[in-house]
Structure 1
Amino acid sequence: NVTDTGKIEAGARLKYISDIKGGSVNCDLSIMPFTQYGIVEIKSVTDAKNAKVNVLNGIKEGEPSYQWKLGSWNRGRGYPKLCTFYQDRFVVAATDSKPNYIWFSRTGDYPNFGVEKVGGTITDDSAITLPVINRKMYEIRHLVPANDLIVLTSGNEWIVDGSKTITPTNCYLKTQTQRGALKCEPQFIGNRCVFVQERGGTVRDMGYSYESDNYTGQDLTLFVKTLVKGHVAVTSAYAQDPDSIIYYVRDDGQLNCLTYIPEQKVYGWSHFVTNGKYRYVESVAEGEQDTIYFVVDRVINNKSVKCIERSIPLYTEDNSDVFLDCYVKVANSIKTDYINAPHLVGQMVDIVVDGQQMPSRVVPPTGVIKLDSKANVITVGLPYTTKIKIPSVEQQINDGTLQCRLVTITRVALRLYRSYGGSVGRTFEDADDLIMKPKTLFTGDTAIVLPKIATSVNTNTEICIKHSKPFPFNLLAVTREVEIGGGFPNVHGM
Structure 2
Amino acid sequence: AKNAKVNVLNGIKEGEPSYQWKLGSWNRGRGYPKLCTFYQDRFVVAATDSKPNFIWFSRTGDYPNFGVEKVEGTITDDSAITLPVINRKMCEIRHLVPANDLIILTSGNEWIVRGDKTITPTNCNLKTQTQRGALSCEPQFIGNRCVFVQERGGTVRDMGYSYESDNYTGQDLTLFVKTLVKGHLAVTSAYAQDPDSIIYYVRDDGQLNCLTYIPEQKVYGWSHFVTNGKYRYVESVAEGEQDTIYFVVDRVINNKSVKCIERSIPLYTEDNSDVFLDCYVKVANSIKTDYINAPHLVGQMVDIVIDGQQMPSRVVPPTGVIKLDGKANVITVGLPYTTKIKIPSVEQQINDGTLQGRVATVSRVVLRMYKSFGGKVGRTFDRMDDITLPPNELFTGDKPVILPKMGINYSTDTSICIKHSDPFPFNLLSITRIVEIGGGLRDVPGL
| Kept in 2: contact 1:387–1:466 (CA 8 A) | yes
Residue aligning to 2:117: 164
- Pick aligned residue for 2:101 from 126, 148, 157: 148
Cα distance in 2 for residues equivalent to 1:283 and 1:63: 58
SS state of the match for residue 53, structure 1? coil
- Pick aligned residue for 2:415 from 462, 477, 482: 462
The sequence identity of aligned pairs, in percent, is: 87
Residue aligning to 2:170: 217
Q: Tell me which structure has the larger Cα radius of gyration.
A: 1
Residue aligning to 1:254: 207
Cα distance in 2 for residues equivalent to 1:59 and 1:248: 55
1:235-314 aligned at under 5 Å gives the runs 235-314=188-267
- Pick aligned residue for 1:67 from 9, 17, 20: 20
CA displacement, residues 148-175 of structure 1 (integer Å, 9 cap, x when unaligned): 0000000000000111101111101000
- Pick aligned residue for 1:481 from 415, 434, 442: 434
Residue aligning to 1:5: none
2:36 maps to 1:83: yes
1:443-454 aligned at under 5 Å gives the runs 443-454=396-407
| Kept in 1: contact 2:385–2:404 (CA 8 A) | no
| Kept in 1: contact 2:110–2:128 (CA 8 A) | yes
Measured after TM superposition, the shift of residue 96 of structure 1 is 0.6
Cα distance in 2 for residues equivalent to 1:247 and 1:138: 27
Residue aligning to 1:373: 326
Cα distance in 1 for residues equivalent to 2:405 and 2:249: 44
Cα distance in 2 for residues equivalent to 1:61 and 1:274: 67
- Pick aligned residue for 1:398 from 313, 337, 351: 351
SS state of the match for residue 380, structure 1? strand
Measured after TM superposition, the shift of residue 60 of structure 1 is 5.7
Residue aligning to 2:372: 419
Cα distance in 1 for residues equivalent to 2:49 and 2:439: 66
Letter in 2 for 1:268: G
| Structure 2 length-normalised TM | 0.96
Measured after TM superposition, the shift of residue 354 of structure 1 is 0.4
SS state of the match for residue 408, structure 2? helix
Q: 1:326 to 1:451 in 2, by over 3 A?
A: closer
- Pick aligned residue for 2:91 from 113, 130, 138: 138
| Kept in 2: contact 1:300–1:346 (CA 8 A) | yes
Cα distance in 1 for residues equivalent to 2:213 and 2:231: 21
SS state of the match for residue 445, structure 1? strand
Cα distance in 2 for residues equivalent to 1:231 and 1:258: 16
Residue aligning to 2:306: 353
Cα distance in 1 for residues equivalent to 2:162 and 2:242: 31
Letter in 2 for 1:350: D
Cα distance in 1 for residues equivalent to 2:135 and 2:126: 21
Letter in 2 for 1:146: A
CA displacement, residues 428-476 of structure 1 (integer Å, 9 cap, x when unaligned): 1111111112220000000111133332211100000111000000100
| Kept in 2: contact 1:94–1:100 (CA 8 A) | yes
Cα distance in 2 for residues equivalent to 1:234 and 1:435: 41
Cα distance in 2 for residues equivalent to 1:337 and 1:452: 44
Letter in 2 for 1:178: Q
Residue aligning to 2:394: 441
SS state of the match for residue 455, structure 1? coil
Letter in 1 for 2:63: Y
CA displacement, residues 389-412 of structure 1 (integer Å, 9 cap, x when unaligned): 001111223332211111111001
CA displacement, residues 285-316 of structure 1 (integer Å, 9 cap, x when unaligned): 11111100000000000000000000001112
- Pick aligned residue for 1:338 from 267, 285, 291: 291
Cα distance in 1 for residues equivalent to 2:215 and 2:292: 45
2:149 maps to 1:196: yes
Residue aligning to 2:136: 183
CA displacement, residues 8-54 of structure 1 (integer Å, 9 cap, x when unaligned): xxxxxxxxxxxxxxxxxxxxxxxxxxxxxxxxxxxx956xxxx6633
| Kept in 1: contact 2:383–2:404 (CA 8 A) | no
| Kept in 1: contact 2:294–2:333 (CA 8 A) | yes
Residue aligning to 2:445: none
Cα distance in 2 for residues equivalent to 1:321 and 1:217: 39
1:37-116 aligned at under 5 Å gives the runs 53-55=6-8, 62=14, 64=16, 65-116=18-69
| Kept in 2: contact 1:148–1:160 (CA 8 A) | yes
SS state of the match for residue 291, structure 2? strand
| Kept in 2: contact 1:255–1:278 (CA 8 A) | yes
CA displacement, residues 66-105 of structure 1 (integer Å, 9 cap, x when unaligned): 1211111011111100000000000000001100000000
Residue aligning to 1:387: 340
| Kept in 2: contact 1:405–1:486 (CA 8 A) | no
| Kept in 2: contact 1:45–1:52 (CA 8 A) | no
Measured after TM superposition, the shift of residue 327 of structure 1 is 0.1
Residue aligning to 2:444: none
Letter in 2 for 1:246: I
Cα distance in 2 for residues equivalent to 1:142 and 1:198: 12
SS state of the match for residue 343, structure 1? helix
Cα distance in 2 for residues equivalent to 1:285 and 1:238: 11
Cα distance in 2 for residues equivalent to 1:99 and 1:52: 25
Cα distance in 2 for residues equivalent to 1:355 and 1:439: 8
| Structure 1 length-normalised TM | 0.87
Alpha-carbon RMSD: 1.5
SS state of the match for residue 54, structure 1? coil
Cα distance in 2 for residues equivalent to 1:161 and 1:451: 60
SS state of the match for residue 280, structure 1? strand
SS state of the match for residue 226, structure 1? helix
Flag structure 2 segments of 5+ consecutive residues without an equivalent.
Answer: 441-447
Larger mean CA deviation between 434-443 and 356-365 belongs to 434-443
| Kept in 1: contact 2:95–2:104 (CA 8 A) | yes
Residue aligning to 2:443: none
Measured after TM superposition, the shift of residue 62 of structure 1 is 2.5
